[in-house]
């Protein structure tokens, strides 16, 4: 499966952005999907994940819980990350990832995802 992430940009603190990850080659419903981010000088970290064959079973990093929402649109073969109440510390390059084998207990581990999009920059100004 090939992944194409988009939707990043520059936004003020408190604002919102919606990231999109369009999958091609295979139906996205058969994959567990994750969003990860990497800020300059920091390690990549898990942001949110949605489980295989599910449109509602998801998990989040504590730092984004209640502000970010991951969702899946099977008809458009796209996974979204709705980001509200953005903070300067959310500034990072955001990546979507896919795996047909990762289980929910491993979904925060980026090494379990073999397919990655190219990343989209999110910058939140204070």
pLDDT at site 69: 97
Does the structure show a pLDDT above 90 at 27? Answer: no
pLDDT at site 53: 82
Residue labelled with tokens 């910058």: 123
Nearest to 110 by CA among 55, 53, 48, 62: 48
3-class secondary-structure state, position 34: strand
Tell me how far apart the alpha carbons of residues 13 and 32 are, in angstroms, rounded to a whole number.
30
Nearest to 91 by CA among 62, 71, 63, 49: 63
DSSP assignment, residue 69? E
pLDDT at site 95: 98
pLDDT digits over 44-77, tens only?
999 999 998 877 789 999 999 999 999 999 899 9
Tell me how far apart the alpha carbons of residues 74 and 45 are, in angstroms, rounded to a whole number.
26
């Amino acid at each position: 499966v090939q992944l194409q992430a988009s939707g990043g940009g520059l936004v003020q603190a408190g604002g919102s952005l919606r990231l999109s990850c369009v999958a091609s080659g295979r139906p996205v419903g058969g994959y567990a999907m994750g969003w990860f981010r990497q800020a300059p000088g920091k390690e990549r970290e898990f942001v949110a994940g949605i489980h295989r064959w599910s449109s509602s079973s998801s998990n989040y990093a504590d730092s984004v819980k209640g502000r970010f929402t991951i969702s899946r649109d099977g008809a458009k073969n796209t996974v979204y990350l709705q980001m509200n109440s953005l903070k300067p510390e959310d500034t990072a390059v955001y990546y979507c990832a896919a795996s047909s084998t990762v289980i929910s207990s491993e979904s925060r581990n980026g090494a379990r995802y073999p397919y990655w999009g190219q990343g989209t920059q999110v910058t939140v100004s204070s």
